[in-house]
C-alpha cells in the first residue's frame, strides 16, 4: 500500500471516530452556559467554553470506542477499531492527550473546574465501562455529562455560576438522556448478543421509546419555564425552543408510527433528527446572552456540517456494508424489534 493511501486510510479512521455529525453539540452547550452566566463576554473565555467540552467529547469517543471494542466486534465490525483501521493503543493515546489538553485549558481559566472536569472524565469512563450496560442508569449518567458541560461553560464566564442556572442543567440532562435512550433502540440486537442489558433490551423498544419521550418532554417543559430567567430576547428564545420541540415531536412520531415493526434503521433516522434538533435547542439558549445574529451565525454552519456528514457517514458507521447485524457466529439479519 502506498504511503499516501495508508495515511488517508488512517485519517479516515480518525474522522469516523470523531463522528463529526455529533461533534458540535457539546461545544454549543458549553457556550450556552457561558452566555447565560455573565452579561459581558470575552472571546477567550467563550472559546474555552466551546473548546474544552469539545476536546473531552472527542476524548470520550476514542476511549469509549476502546472500551466498546469487544461489543463492536460482534455488532459493528466495520468500525475503526474492530476492523483494524485504528489500533486500540492509538485510541487510548488520543483519548488521553485530548483529555489532558482539555484539562489544561479549563484549569488555566478557572481552577475550580478541576472537580467538574475530573467528574466529567470519570463519568464518561464509568458510562462506557459500567453504566452503559445497566439499563436506565446508563442514560441518566450520559445525560448528566452534558449537563456538566453546561456548568463548565458557565464557569468559564464566572468563577461560581448563579444557582438559577441549574434549571438549564436539567434541560440538557433530560434531553441527552432521552436522545441517548433513542440511540440504544438501533442497537437492541447487538447489545443483547454482547450482554449489554440496556433499558431497551430489558423492557423492550416500545417502553424505551416511551421513557425517552417522557424525558424529552421534561427537557422542553423545563426550557420553556426558563423563559422567565433569561434576561432579554425572550421571544426569540422561546421561538427557538418551540422550533426544537417541533423537530423533536417529528423524531418521536417516527418511533410511535412504526409500532411493533420498529427497526434499527427507523430508530437511527429518529436519532438523526434529534441530533439536528438539539443543535437548535442549544442555539436558542445562546440568544439571550450573545444575541440572535450571533446565535444564527453559529447555528447555520454547524447545521450544514451536521446534515452533510450524517448523510455521508453515519449509516456506514452504524451498520455494516451488507446492511446486516452481525453475531458472534456470523451475519444475521436483524428482525423487527419485539416488545
For residue range 118-128, list pLDDT tens digits in order: 888 787 777 77
- pLDDT in the model for residue 130: 76
CA triplet 180, 129, 264: central angle to 5 degrees?
35
Mean pLDDT value across residues 66-95? 89
Residue 117 in any domain: the answer is yes
- pLDDT in the model for residue 261: 81
HSE-CB of 53 using CA atoms within 13 angstroms: 31
Phi, psi (rounded to 5 degrees) for 336: -60, 140
Do 30 and 155 contact (CB within 8 A), yes or no? no
Percent of all residues in the chain with a pLDDT value above 90, rounded to a whole number: 56
Mean pLDDT value across residues 152-165? 92
Residue 9 in any domain: the answer is yes
Residue 272 in any domain: the answer is yes
Chain centre to alpha carbon of residue 236: 25
Mean pLDDT value across residues 38-53? 92
Summarize pLDDT for 99-112 with one digit per residue, the tens: 999 999 999 999 99
**End-to-end CA gap in the chain:** 48
| DSSP letters spanning 211-248 | HHHHHHHHHHHHHHHGGGT-SS-HHHHHHHHHHHHHHH
Cell of 72: 463492536
Range of the domain at 174: 3-332
- 233 has a pLDDT exceeding 80: yes
Mean pLDDT value across residues 208-228? 95
What is the number of structural domains in the chain?
1
Q: Which CATH number do you get for residue 131? A: 1.10.357.140
Q: Which range scores top for mean pLDDT: 12-16, 132-136, 220-224?
A: 220-224
Phi, psi (rounded to 5 degrees) for 181: -65, -40
What mean pLDDT value characterizes the chain? 87
- 46 has a pLDDT exceeding 80: yes
- 312 has a pLDDT exceeding 70: yes
Chain centre to alpha carbon of residue 24: 9
Mean pLDDT value across residues 137-150? 90
Q: Helix, strand, or coil here: 310?
A: helix
Residue whose C-alpha cell is 424505551: 208
Mean pLDDT value across residues 70-84? 86
Mean pLDDT value across residues 257-279? 90
Residue 337 in any domain: the answer is no
Taking the model in full, what pTM does it have?
0.88
Amino acid at each position: 500500500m502506498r504511503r499516501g493511501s495508508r495515511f488517508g486510510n488512517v485519517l479516515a479512521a480518525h474522522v469516523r471516530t470523531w463522528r463529526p455529525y455529533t461533534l458540535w453539540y457539546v461545544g454549543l452547550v458549553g457556550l450556552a452556559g457561558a452566555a447565560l452566566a455573565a452579561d459581558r463576554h470575552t472571546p477567550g473565555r467563550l472559546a474555552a467554553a466551546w473548546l474544552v467540552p469539545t476536546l473531552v467529547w472527542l476524548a470520550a469517543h476514542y476511549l469509549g470506542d476502546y472500551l466498546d471494542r469487544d461489543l463492536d466486534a460482534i455488532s459493528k465490525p466495520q468500525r475503526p477499531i474492530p476492523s483494524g483501521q485504528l489500533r486500540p493503543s492509538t485510541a487510548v493515546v488520543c483519548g488521553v492527550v485530548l483529555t489532558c489538553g482539555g484539562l489544561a485549558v479549563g484549569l488555566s481559566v478557572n481552577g475550580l473546574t478541576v472537580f467538574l472536569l475530573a467528574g466529567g472524565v470519570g463519568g464518561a469512563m464509568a458510562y462506557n465501562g459500567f453504566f452503559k450496560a445497566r439499563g436506565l442508569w446508563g442514560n441518566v449518567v450520559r445525560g448528566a455529562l452534558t449537563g456538566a458541560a453546561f456548568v463548565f461553560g458557565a464557569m468559564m464566564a464566572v468563577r461560581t455560576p448563579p444557582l438559577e442556572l441549574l434549571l438549564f442543567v436539567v434541560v440538557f440532562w433530560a434531553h441527552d438522556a432521552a436522545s441517548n435512550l433513542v440511540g440504544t433502540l438501533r442497537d437492541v440486537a447487538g447489545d443483547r448478543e454482547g450482554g449489554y442489558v440496556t433499558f431497551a433490551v430489558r423492557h423492550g423498544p416500545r417502553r424505551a421509546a416511551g421513557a425517552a419521550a417522557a424525558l424529552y418532554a421534561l427537557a422542553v417543559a423545563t426550557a420553556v419555564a426558563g423563559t422567565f430567567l433569561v434576561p432579554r430576547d425572550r421571544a426569540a428564545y422561546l421561538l427557538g425552543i418551540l422550533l426544537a420541540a417541533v423537530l423533536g415531536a417529528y423524531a418521536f412520531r417516527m418511533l410511535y408510527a412504526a409500532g411493533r415493526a420498529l427497526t434499527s434503521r427507523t430508530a437511527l433516522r429518529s436519532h438523526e433528527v434529534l441530533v439536528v434538533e438539539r443543535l437548535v435547542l442549544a442555539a436558542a439558549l445562546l440568544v439571550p446572552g450573545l444575541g440572535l445574529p450571533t446565535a444564527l451565525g453559529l447555528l447555520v454552519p454547524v447545521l450544514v456540517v451536521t446534515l452533510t456528514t450524517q448523510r455521508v457517514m453515519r449509516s456506514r458507521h452504524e451498520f455494516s456494508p451488507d446492511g446486516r447485524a452481525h453475531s458472534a457466529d456470523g451475519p444475521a439479519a436483524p428482525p423487527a424489534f419485539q416488545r
